[in-house]
Amino acid sequence: MSQVLLDVRDLVVEFPTRKGLVQAVSGVTFELRRGETLALVGESGCGKSTTARAVMQLPRPTSGQIVLDGDDLVAAGKRDLRRLRRRFQMIFQNPIASLNPRKRISEIIEKPLKIAGLMDAEKRRQAVEELLETVGLDPAVAMDKRPHEFSGGQCQRISIARALILEPDLLICDEPVSALDVSIQAQILNLLEDMKQRYDLTMLFISHDLAVVRNVADRVAVMYLGRFCEVGTSESLFDSPAHPYTRALLSAIPVPDPTVTPKPIEMIQGDLPSPISPPSGCRFRTRCPVASERCAAEVPEMRDLPDGRAVACHHPLVGA
Amino acid sequence: MADPTTNRPLDPVRPTLSRFRRMRPTTGKSGQFGIAFWLPLAWLVLISFTAIFAPWIGIQDPDSLDFINLQTPPNDAHLLGTDHLGRDVLARVIYGARVSLVVGFCAPVVGMLLGLPIGMIAGYFGGRIDGFIVGAIDTFLAVPGLVLLLLFSLIFGGSLLVVTVSLGLLFIPIFSRISRAATLSFKSSEFILAARTIGANDFNILVRELLPNVVLPVLAFGLVAVAGAIVVEGALSFLGLSVPAPHPSWGGMIAGGREHLEESPHISIFPAIVMFLTVLSFNLVGDTLRSRFADVREAAI
Amino acid sequence: MAAPLLELTNVSTHFHSPAGRVRAVDGVSVSLEAGQTLGLVGESGSGKSVLARTIMGLLPSYAEIPEGSAITFDGQNLLTMDRKARRAISGPGIGMIFQDPMTSLNPVMKIGQQVYEGMRHHFGTSKAAGRQRAIELLTEVGIPQPDVRIDQFPHQLSGGMRQRVAIAIALACEPKLLIADEPTTALDVTVQSGILDLLQREQRDRGMTLILITHDLGVVAGRCDQVAVMYAGGIVETGSTRSLFARTRMRYTQALLDSIPRLDRPPHERLKSIGGRPPNLITPPPGCRFAPRCAFSDAQCESAIPPMQADEADATHSFACWHPRDPEQTAEEVA
């Protein structure tokens, strides 16, 4: 229906650690169409946040291609990148830590404009006021306060305002509601949805909470140990998971309904393997209930299923 | 290994217990600062005021000799008595405060002006730059401070400027360590990441985002450093290595009264008491402010 | 009917702060029979963790428990006991597991020693017997190679494994009541279900009483006999899990349930959020504490505190609301 805004190919991110080189993201490929929300889900340490930060070029990835609307961010020089940054912005998990405690709210929100050298002081102030109102805060009250005078939910609104003031095309949300209480979480999710409509945003949404993802995402990518397991529309993936890991994740979610007895999760209990020496072949095989010898020998390639999704598994649960 | 940052609500209303744990007894009944803050502060104001306005507050000339009244105990004419040359002890204590306060304030400022940027650069850039700076600081710390001070005063002679600058240099390591630690703790904060996502350069991040946060703990330590500088200056002038002889300084006065300690203890004791109270006051005020800043910072994050 | 194992009567916990008296827990009454599992649910600042610490006697010095509060455990009032007797209850009487397994274990003590330390202290178990028992317990809580792990330090284990160790430590003293304060909040979902299964199994096998504190209604739904919902320091609704979910009466409970994103709902569906934020506990609203955020509140809600009243269909189910939801009506959920 629409063109590709973000095209990520063979993304690899490595970190040196004392125990050796860790490959946090090992060759991830996906695209994001204009106006769509893609969610990256997985457990902690799966590389979802690292992928998001690699797209932000913070730090710059080890290898791969990240093309935003024709411009390759990985290949871009420092100065070009600084100019391009206007078009992709990010909000973070910890709403309070993501605001400088010593700055006023007006300074925090107008800073992107200042750095970009846009508008004079008067215009900037106007823009900040408008945006504060849009994210549901009273500018007259909020402008001159400092972050610690606000609750977590309000701080997240301020973060959203800061990310939107440059009117970016792409908004990356790294666990934006996981630090918030349920009742506040719903407010922020609704606000993000409103902002998406209003500013024609394309979103990359990182979360460990599948119920939240179900609410916000058009498409979902499940990650495990630095690789994608399965990518598909949120309906197909939630209704009939094709990858055993997706099924395990879904079965682990507690359902707020006492008539549903919690089932044991369909995954072998144990620790996540070390990312320094990940298992050969399929990385999930050490905890996979349907793993075979082939899974140890051969890395499963991403392949398309008839219903349009892609799965990296030798023994997919549907459409094999 | 599970990431401790996932999945945990961080709304500020959440950690009810830990939030109250932060409220320390140093904050008195009024909800603000207690008597252990106000009394020392009043003393410091008094000392500073008299030192600054010494020529105009009607005290005697600290250098005028009076050979008739040698070593007189405190009386109406000389509130704190006179020394072995008949000079007024009160006047000399007040003029001596000038030396102590100038060195006490200026030496930490010198140390801060040089140490703060060094520490921030080391903490922010990390890697080789950090390794080099930390190594240099450790090397510098291995040189005994007193030996260095002696060396300086031998080469350049004892003057207020030499004492202040050389003491200031000795403060560089501690200030750079504090600012490096503070920079490290803020560097990975999400608000720094946020500044990068909007294309802010390193200079902008260091000055606009980090400095306002780093400067608080550094300033709070500054007051404690003032106390330290006054003590060291006292020791130096006791040894005769600070401002030259006729000029009054607390350490020099204590040293001068040493020989007459039995018959006229007041010559040494009054400057010693004043110095003791001043140093104690700086420490008390500094500690209160420091814990206060730490609280503000914790609450803000 | 047997006397309840734990009975809280009008329990309050106040904190003294420079800004005034913080009513972190205010007039909580609840009782729990032996062998039952109580889910204590609430958002941040609702007082659920403070309540747990009040029962455990782990309050800081600036906390005050006002006159008129009573906590009866196994026939004894914990609040009037002397400190020595109170300490003897911690461990064999009441055990506790904390949210963060990274900080609740001693980083410089071997795991085995942490497990048998309590046994040695309370029962005078010998070192050899304690070590043997520690291996059994580690096996029981699902730690592979317990004979190796017993001599390791906490940092050598993953978060989920550490929480299992924390459970083993609590179980070592054979507590009658175990309080688990957000035991899985710091863990991944796949690890969470394993820990919850373990707690549930231990509770059943040992006939232990369990209080499970969580912010997640999903966690309590499948695993608790009884649920108490807390808001701004008080219990606003309590009852059997089935009745509380099926016949939700209190408006806050319903609003909380409505605001959770669910797997069975279509994408991009607008969530029913609760406006505003929880009240300041220094000067709480005079009436119902939820009134300022409630869509159904009126003058009465704002001026008078609603008393706890029993549900018509189930006497064990009670709630504090002036305008309770009609449990037969489901239209408002559909709309």
Q: What digits encode the pLDDT tens for the residues A180-229?
A: 888 889 999 999 999 999 999 999 999 999 999 999 999 999 999 999 99
Span C156-168, average pLDDT? 89
Pairing verdict, β C20-32 and C6-17: antiparallel
Distance from CA of C109 to the nearest CA of B (A): 20
**Of the CATH numbers 1.10.3720.10, 2.60.40.10, 1.10.760.10, 3.30.300.30, which one belongs to the domain with range B46-53+77-300?**
1.10.3720.10
Residue bearing tokens 């800043």: B293
Q: Per mean pLDDT, which range of B50-64, B283-297, C226-240, C274-288 is the poorest?
A: B283-297
Smallest CA–CA distance from A260 into chain C, residue: C222
- Please name the helix (run of DSSP H) or strand (run of DSSP E) that holds residue A7, with its range, or none: strand A4-17
Per-residue confidence (pLDDT) for residue A274, from 0 to 100: 83
**Residue from the list C158, C223, C262 with its beta carbon closest to the beta carbon of A211:** C262
Q: Which residues of chain B have pLDDT under 50?
A: 1-31, 296-301
Per-residue confidence (pLDDT) for residue B18, from 0 to 100: 43
Which residue has better confidence, C271 or A269? C271
Whether B230 and B275 have beta carbons less than 8 Å apart is answered as: yes
pLDDT above 80 for C14: yes
Strand order in the sheet with A88-91: A88-91, A170-174, A202-207, A37-41, A219-224, A227-233, A310-311, A303-304
Distance CA B153, CA B157 (A): 5
**B25 close contact with C: CB closer than 8 A:** no
Confidence of residue A2 (pLDDT cuts 50, 70, 90): low
Where does C11-82 have alpha helices with state H?
A: 48-56
Per-residue confidence (pLDDT) for residue B203, from 0 to 100: 93
Backbone angles phi, psi at C102, to 5 degrees: -75, -35
On chain B, the residues whose CB falls within 8 A of the CB of A104 are: none
pLDDT tens profile A18-47: 888 888 999 999 999 999 999 999 988 899
Decide: helix, strand or coil at residue A38: strand
Interchain pair B13, A178: CB under 8 A: no
**Residue from the list C17, C45, C63 with its beta carbon closest to the beta carbon of B13:** C45
Confidence of residue C212 (pLDDT cuts 50, 70, 90): very high
Per-residue confidence (pLDDT) for residue C2, from 0 to 100: 64
Per-residue confidence (pLDDT) for residue C138, from 0 to 100: 92
| Residue C59, CA atoms < 13 Å, CB-side half-sphere | 20
For chains B and C, count residue pairs whose Cβ atoms are closer than 8 Å: 60
**Which amino acid is residue C102, in one-letter code?**
M
Per-residue confidence (pLDDT) for residue A18, from 0 to 100: 83
On chain B, the residues whose CB falls within 8 A of the CB of C166 are: none
Provide the greatest CA pair distance for chain C: 67
Per-residue confidence (pLDDT) for residue A271, from 0 to 100: 76
Per-residue confidence (pLDDT) for residue A157, from 0 to 100: 94
pLDDT above 60 for C1: no
The domain total for chain C is 1
Please indicate, yes or no, if residue C36 is contained in any of the structural domains: no
Distance CA B264, CA B270 (A): 11
**C259 close contact with A: CB closer than 8 A:** yes
Tokens of C232: 């701004």
Range of the domain at C152: 102-172
On chain B, the residues whose CB falls within 8 A of the CB of C21 are: none
pLDDT tens profile C54-109: 999 888 888 899 999 999 998 889 998 888 888 888 888 999 999 888 888 888 89
Smallest CA–CA distance from A100 into chain B, residue: B191
On the question of a cis peptide bond just before residue A59, with omega within 30 degrees of 0, the verdict is yes
Interchain pair A183, C256: CB under 8 A: yes
pLDDT tens profile A139-162: 988 999 999 888 888 999 999 999
- Domain boundaries along the sequence of chain B: 46-53+77-300
Per-residue confidence (pLDDT) for residue B290, from 0 to 100: 76
ipTM of the complex in this document: 0.85
Per-residue confidence (pLDDT) for residue A190, from 0 to 100: 93
Chains touching chain A at 3 or more Cβ pairs under 8 angstroms?
Answer: B, C
SS3 content of chain A, % helix, strand, coil (to 5): 35, 25, 40
Please indicate, yes or no, if residue C232 is contained in any of the structural domains: no
On chain B, the residues whose CB falls within 8 A of the CB of A81 are: 199
Per-residue confidence (pLDDT) for residue B294, from 0 to 100: 61
Distance from CA of B186 to the nearest CA of A (A): 9
**A176 close contact with B: CB closer than 8 A:** no
Task: Provide the whole-model pTM.
Answer: 0.84
Span C232-243, average pLDDT? 94
pLDDT tens profile C136-154: 999 989 888 898 999 999 9
Could you give the percent of chain A with pLDDT greater than 90?
Answer: 64
pLDDT above 90 for A89: yes
In Å, how far from its chain's centre is CA A8?
A: 14
Which residue has better confidence, C226 or B58? C226
Please indicate, yes or no, if residue C122 is contained in any of the structural domains: yes
pLDDT tens profile A279-292: 999 999 999 999 99
Per-residue confidence (pLDDT) for residue B21, from 0 to 100: 40
Interchain pair C189, A215: CB under 8 A: no
